[in-house]
Copies of this chain bind each other. A is one copy, B any other.
Amino acid sequence: MTTARPPRPLTPDEETLVRALTRLMYALPRAIDADMVREQRLPLVEYITLMRLSEAPRRRMRMGDLAVACELSLSGMTRIVTRLEGQGMVERVRCDDDARGWNAVLTDAGLARLENAWPVNLASVRRHFLDHLEGIDVARLARAVQRVAGDG
């Protein structure tokens, strides 16, 4: 029932990296989310949702696409959009070409909220992450992380 053959063990550097990354993966989203909630009363998931919508053509996206863009399940997305709708930041509009589909549309209020919130997000990202990258080739790292994030 075990895997075929054991993978190559980690080098010490890899070991260090993986350990630190494990901590980071858990800690960073929480730290940023905590900042957003504390300073803007806007959880990170909701911020990301508004963000994605703001970048989409006509400020709208279908639920399924939005879920993918936000790294969320479709049902999770439904609930978040419902929440945002309740606060007037998003509206649900039937899809033009397919009446099964719904678009989540960013309202003006939602856009205003987003513009209010992004400096907080940015500051948080800088403080918890970017500020610690001295001596790192950011362009190169960005490309690597893109590769990592873009797989399956």
Contacts and interface: CB of A to CB of B under 8 A. Distances in A.
B149 A23 contact: yes
A135 B140 CA distance: 8
A21 B133 CA distance: 13
Interface residues of A, number: 56
Q: Is the contact region of chain A dominated by helix, strand, or loop, or is it mixed?
A: helix
What is the oligomeric copy number?
A: 2
A148 B24 contact: yes
Contact of A149 (B20, B29, B48, B125): B20
Nearest to A2: B116
A20 B142 contact: yes
B21 A149 contact: yes
Contacts of A135: 140, 144
B130 A18 contact: yes
Interface string A118-131: 01101101101110
Interface string A19-62: 01111111111100000000100000000100000000000000
Contacts of A18: 125, 129-130
A132 B119 contact: no
Nearest to A146: B20
Interface stretch (A8-16, A78-86, A88-96, A98-106): A8-16
A136 B145 CA distance: 10
Residue of A25, A29, A48, A125 with highest tally of chain B CB at under 10 A: A25
